[in-house]
Structures are given as structure tokens and as C-alpha cells.
A = this chain, B = another copy of it.
Amino acid sequence: MSVQAGRPVRVAVLGCGSVGSQVVRLLRDQADDLAARVGAPVELVGVAVRRLDAPREVEVPAGLLTTDAESLVTREDVDVVVEVIGGIEPARSLILAALEGGASVVSANKALLAEDGPTLYEAAAKAGRDLHYEAAVAGAIPILRPLRESLAGDNVTRVLGIVNGTTNFILDKMDSSGAGFTEALEEAQELGYAEADPTADVEGFDAASKAAILASLAFHTRVTAADVHREGISEVSAADVASARDMGAVVKLLAICELIDTPDGQAVAARVHPAMIPRSHPLASVREAYNAVFTESEAAGQLMFYGPGAGGAPTASAVLGDLVTVARNRLAGIRGAGESAYADREVLPMGQTRTRYHVAIDVEDRAGVLASVALAFAEHDVSIQTVRQEGRGDEAQLVVVSHRASDAQLSATVEHLRGMDIVRDVTSVMRVEGEPE
């Protein structure tokens, strides 16, 4: 199953939805360019679909369509399998069968890679084949290749990403129009930016998968979706967004991957939650459904990668980029650099992560309240950066922004506040990111 000079590189595509149909279109429309860039023609030999007669965005010659994906991936003449089905099964079994059968694989499947990446990486290594998946994180934006290769001589310390377009669209609407979450979600659904069941996006599952993949690559350590602390945006209120605005900040759903110094060396943490970031931060200007990934590394400093995070054609662009690399490697008879987990660092639980909190508290408006609240923070060793007090009839609101402390200390402080007589309600708790202490 090696590729002989002169013969085309043969590609099978699994799935012909919005991404798959654009992959098929680009293979056809860019055939001449692809051949020149690969060094041999790239030939589409089969497209696996669930239903032969489903409506499609692109015309696929009937002879190429099949419902038998299992047979397609193990065909003797297939060099590269492109998996754009999504989900765990049957995608995982098909990728494993493809690798065992000697094909290289390009996948856009973030959920699978975040849940069970190591199984796939080991199968690719054992088979001596490539497994590339640039399209799995932030759509068209080249971010995995820069992390794996361009920054390979540097030491990445932090990755902050807006990696889910649906939630960014919703939060951007809330910021620009003052709308509440429900109203903004409905607008996103009407415009096709959110699905009828928006859970995977708004509850942060999609972003958590991407955080796991980013953390694994950035820190050469295996991080799975289960290691990622996850909070969604459904609890973010119009008041939170307004409060962020008052302090010159904006609320974003961030995927945050960090290298953390510990007494035993360095550990890794990955989390997804809404956070306030200053409007001057490069990520703050990422509007609508766009994505961006911001990296900090010791030598390069701060870099940002920005672009469309989803959509058929953008995602297909990332798939085709991987396909060209994988096809070149096939022609050269080599395998590119595989997944690397040599650092094998400990993954810290959320409680040990150091963050800052923005806490809004409704309190009774009487003397000594501020001192009592300050004391509660001090008892948990949490240092306060700013307090803003606003009287409102017989009660008052305090807005406290803390310095950096462990998440465990901060959440214990909030628990403590909730139990105090003078505290009527803790109306909002949100982390603050993207600026020094």
C-alpha cells in the first residue's frame, strides 16, 4: 500500500454534511493546485454517507457514494481517509480500521480526540501513519500546527481561546444590545448560529473538548475532556455584562490552558468558563461568531490567531491543509511528527487553579458592612483589589474584585459570604482573566 511515483493519492471521505460536501467541492475545484502542491494528483475514490438519496450541497458522482463506510476505509487503494462525521461512534472504529488498514487519517472530530485521543495516537504510531486534525479546533484558524511546529522551540505557558462561535455570538449580542441570555440565544438560533438544542455549545462541552486538545499540544501532556473544568454561559445575566462594562471589561467564554509552577515542578490546568477580560485585551475585540486563540510563550511573547471558527468551507480549508501534508508524507514514504506527551505533567483540579473573582453582593445598608465583607475575604486569605459600594434604598450593593488566589479559596469565600446575616444575596460571581494581578 505504498504510493508509487506517478500514481494519484487516493482519498476517501467519511460524511457529506456541511464540511464533507465542501471537502468534496475543494478536491474537485482545486484539483490542479492540489496536484502541484502535493506532487501527484489527489483523487477522490469514495464518499461514505448514511443515505444515498439525501440532499447535498455538492454534486457527488453516484458511483462514489456508498453507505458501507467500513469497506471504504479498508479498501486496498485508499491512501488517506478524511473523517468528518463527528461524534464518538462509528467515527472511532472507522478511524482505527483505516489506520490498521494502512491509510493515513485527517479528522475534524474534536469530541472524539478530546475523549479518546490517546487510543487514536497509539494506533497511528503503531501503523506508522499520520493522524492530523487541525480542523478540530477553531475551524479554519491554523492553531494546532503553529503550536506543534512553529512554537516547538519555545515554552508555551498559557493558551486563552475563544473557541466556540455560538457562545461568542450570544455574549457579543448581550454586550452590544443589553439583551439577556435567552433573548440573545433566540436571535442566534434564528440566524443559524445556534442549534435547536444548544446544550453542547452554551454549556461549554464543545469548548472543553477544544481546551483538552489545545492543552495536550501546548504542554506535551495528555489532557482529556474529563480533565477540563467546565462552566457554560446560561447563568450569565445582563447585569453581569453591564457590570463588566462598568469596569472596562467584556464577558467572553474562554478556554484557558495553563502551565502552573508547583512545589514539585510544573503542572497543567485546563478550564472553560465565562470570564471578564479587559476591553484592551486582543481577545476582547473578537466579535460575533469569530474565534481566536491567544498564546503566551517565554520567547515569542503574546501571539493571537483569529478567524472563522466554524462553517463548512472554513473547516474544509483546514481539512485540505492537513490533507496536503499527509499526502506529501505518503509520497515521501514517511510519517510526520506524531503526538508528543513526553512532558507527562500532572493535571491540576480546578480548586488549585489560581484565578481572580468579580463578586457582586447585595448587603444591608448599615455601618460596618464593608468591614465585615472584607474580613470574610481576609479569613480565606484572599486579597481584595477593588471594592465599589452603591447604596440602593435600604440595601446596598458591593462589587468586589479580588487579587489572584486559588479557586478553592475564592469559592470558600463566596460560600462564607452567602452564610452571613448582612448578606442578602451574592448576585454574581465571575472570574476575571487576561490581565496581571
A317 near B140: Cβ-Cβ < 8 Å: no
Whether, in the assembled complex, A37 has its beta carbon less than 8 Å from a beta carbon of chain B, the answer is: yes
CA distance A285 to B328 in the complex (A): 38
Closest-CB distance, A390 to chain B (whole angstroms): 32
A288-330 contact mask (Cβ, 8 Å, vs B): 1 or 0: 0000000001111111111110010110111111111100100
Q: Are A150 and B142 in contact (CB under 8 A)?
A: yes
The answer for the CA separation of A155 and B146 in the assembled complex, in Å, is: 20
Docked complex Cα distance between A146 and B324 (Å): 12
Binary flags per residue of A141-158, CB closer than 8 Å to B gives 1, else 0: 110011001111111000
Verify B301–A140 contact, CB threshold 8 A: yes
A34 to B343: give the CA distance in the assembly, Å: 12
Separation of A334 and B325 alpha carbons in the complex (Å): 14
Nearest B-chain residue to A285, judged by Cβ: B285
Q: Which residues of B contact A334 (CB under 8 A)?
A: 332, 334
B residues within 8 A CB of A325? Answer: 149, 152
Chain B residue contacts of A314, Cβ below 8 A: 299-301
A150-B142, A317-B153 known; A303 and B299 CB under 8 Å?
Answer: no
CA distance A150 to B340 in the complex (A): 20
**Given A300-B314, A302-B307, A307-B300, A36 contacting B220 (CB threshold 8 A):** yes
Q: How many copies does the complex hold?
A: 2
Interface-centre pick from A34, A308, A321 (highest chain B CB count, 10 A): A321
Q: Are A299 and B317 in contact (CB under 8 A)?
A: yes
The reply to whether the CB of A33 lies closer than 8 angstroms to some CB of chain B is yes
Residues in chain B near residue A34, CB distance under 8 A: 153
Judge whether A376 is part of the interface by a CB distance below 8 angstroms.
Answer: no
Q: Which residue of chain B is the closest to A342 with respect to CB atoms?
A: B36
A216 cross-chain contacts in B, Cβ below 8 A:
none
Given the complex of chains A and B, what is the CA–CA distance between A319 and B22 in angstroms? 35
Whether A337 sits at the interface, judged by CB under 8 Å, is yes
A282 within 8 A of B: yes
Instruction: Say yes or no for A30: interface residue by CB 8 A criterion.
Output: yes
Q: Give the distance in Å from the alpha carbon of A34 to the alpha carbon of B220 in the complex.
A: 12
Pull 15 A–B residue pairs with CB atoms less than 8 Å apart, ordered by A: A26-B153, A30-B155, A33-B343, A34-B153, A142-B146, A142-B150, A146-B146, A153-B321, A299-B320, A300-B308, A300-B314, A303-B305, A304-B304, A304-B306, A305-B306
Question: Which residues of A are in contact with B by a Cβ distance under 8 Å?
Answer: 22, 26, 30, 33-34, 36-37, 134, 140-142, 145-146, 149-155, 220, 282, 285, 297-308, 311, 313-314, 316-325, 328, 332, 334, 337, 340, 342-343
Instruction: Give me the 8 closest cross-chain CB pairs, A-B, nearest first.
Output: A153-B320, A142-B150, A140-B300, A299-B317, A300-B317, A303-B307, A152-B324, A142-B146
